[in-house]
Structure 1
Amino acid sequence: MLEKFIAQHPIYTEIPVAWGEMDALQHVNNVVYFKYFETARIDFFTQVNLLSNLQTTQVGPVLSDNHARYKRPVTFPDTLLVGVKISDIQADRFMMHYTVFSQAQQAVTTLGNSLVVMFNFKTGKKATLIPELLSALRDHEEEKTEA
């Protein structure tokens, strides 16, 4: 299962589950998954150099929408792999998809997605994807299944 997950998600982030992330029901609290998604998102952005010019250009990503679907509870101790894929690339936005894989359970536990919009922090308006970023996103775009 792990090998299949890694083959399907060439960009993933490894996140150890912390004891304090569990709630009174003895599983990872639902809101913690959004922190996991954020960690994987920033890791992905770093790998595709999205944040490298943020200080000089003042153009960067903001979230417009964020969702999670919980399939199985996760408990401590565990190490999660959060895979990232891209879809729905448009001139100023794209969708990020997260798949959370539990090493302890050898199973996918959570699915999520975020709509990311490029934003110019100087002007306070949306911005377009630069060609280099567009190319990097397309390299990690989900494969379309043919009907």
Structure 2
Amino acid sequence: MRAVRLLPRAEIASKRVAGDLIGIPSRRLRSTSTTETPATASLSPRWLSDVKHRIGKCLTFGANDEQIHKAGRVLSEIARDWRELVAGSEGFLTEAKRRGIYRQEVVWGEGDSMGHVNNVMYNRFAESGRVQWTQKLGMHVDPANRKAWRSVMSPSEAGLILKSITTHFKFPMTWPDHYSVYHKLRSEPTSGTSSIVLDVVIMSELHQRPAARLVEDVVVYDYVKGKKIALPPFMLDVFRDTWTLQEEVKGRYSERVRHLLEDVRQLEQGTWDRSDAIEDTGSGAG
């Protein structure tokens, strides 16, 4: 068995989240249940844009200094951490050492005659993201087995073969735009796991929401023996650690989303959503 260097739990817990900067207590959450629904599950895909519009409406009805300060904090949080709020609340790991592709530029030639990114390209984006995702596991999470992780995408030893891929298009990206690709395990692997299902999200940076969601069914294959095998120990340990971290991140950012929405609702109740509210349209009086 190869030695595995896993990310220390103390290191995970000690990382300060941006919530500290907006008055949200930072605390280590226990691993959430696999049945827990992300805070964004029932929200519109455009919920971030909706929040901005809601805050704008609050300001047009007039706000005191405290309300203006709260609105500014919410808008700053969205601008700084929108990827974590959207993808992180679902359990996708967005940090630099874990993400697949980050802010990749959409190339003009990737579009079709309508100017939309061609449907085939989304599968290519996901494939490139999956390769980068596995390679970063070897570089940053398990450097002791970096060589083994490098061979995962080559026909040499134990590798990962794409069995099937399903793509759900949410809206057509166009040029110019940038996109980020995140992968996550759908379930916790066990010692007998011989295939893994990966959820994939391709995020439009321009629109700040998913342009496509994909499901990849990946098989573990031994190229030397020529047959499907269970996850090697080095993969199993890292994927288990990844699963645990996914659940922690989902709970953490779901909590932040709930706090953010509560703040917006309080702003509404203190500005336009009251019986004596009057819209401030400005005055032409000198």
- Normalization by structure 1: what TM-score? 0.86
Q: Where does residue 80 of structure 1 map in the other structure?
A: 179
AA at the equivalent of 1:98? V
**1:72-93 CA deviation, whole Å, 9 max, x = no partner?**
1100111111111012335211
Q: Where does residue 46 of structure 1 map in the other structure?
A: 135
User: For 1:100, which of 199, 202, 223 is the aligned residue?
Assistant: 202
Task: Compare CA radii of gyration and give the structure with the larger one.
Answer: 2
Q: Where does residue 61 of structure 1 map in the other structure?
A: 160
Larger helix percent:
2
User: For 1:126, which of 198, 222, 228 is the aligned residue?
Assistant: 228
Alpha-carbon distance in 1 for matches of 2:247, 2:195? 18
User: 51-60 vs 90-99, which deviates more?
Assistant: 51-60
Alpha-carbon distance in 2 for matches of 1:112, 1:7? 16
AA at the equivalent of 1:115? D
Are 2:83 and 1:2 aligned? yes
Alpha-carbon distance in 2 for matches of 1:3, 1:117? 29
8 Å Cα contact 1:94/1:117 also seen in 2:
yes
Note the aligned Cα RMSD (angstroms): 2.3
Are 2:211 and 1:112 aligned? no
Alpha-carbon distance in 2 for matches of 1:53, 1:103? 31
Larger strand percent:
1
**1:6-40 CA deviation, whole Å, 9 max, x = no partner?**
63432321222111110112100001011100111
Q: Where does residue 137 of structure 1 map in the other structure?
A: 239
Cα 1:69/1:6, change in 2 over 3 Å: closer
Alpha-carbon distance in 2 for matches of 1:59, 1:86? 19
- Normalization by structure 2: what TM-score? 0.47
| Deviation at residue 140 of structure 1 after TM alignment | 2.6
User: For 1:20, which of 109, 126, 138 is the aligned residue?
Assistant: 109
Alpha-carbon distance in 2 for matches of 1:57, 1:38? 19
Alpha-carbon distance in 1 for matches of 2:165, 2:232? 23
AA at the equivalent of 2:184? K
Alpha-carbon distance in 2 for matches of 1:115, 1:93? 7
Q: Where does residue 74 of structure 2 map in the other structure?
A: none
Query: Identity of counterpart residues, as a percentage?
Result: 25
Alpha-carbon distance in 2 for matches of 1:57, 1:2? 36
| Deviation at residue 96 of structure 1 after TM alignment | 1.1
| Deviation at residue 124 of structure 1 after TM alignment | 1.5
8 Å Cα contact 1:66/1:112 also seen in 2:
yes
| Deviation at residue 107 of structure 1 after TM alignment | 1.3
8 Å Cα contact 1:23/1:29 also seen in 2:
yes
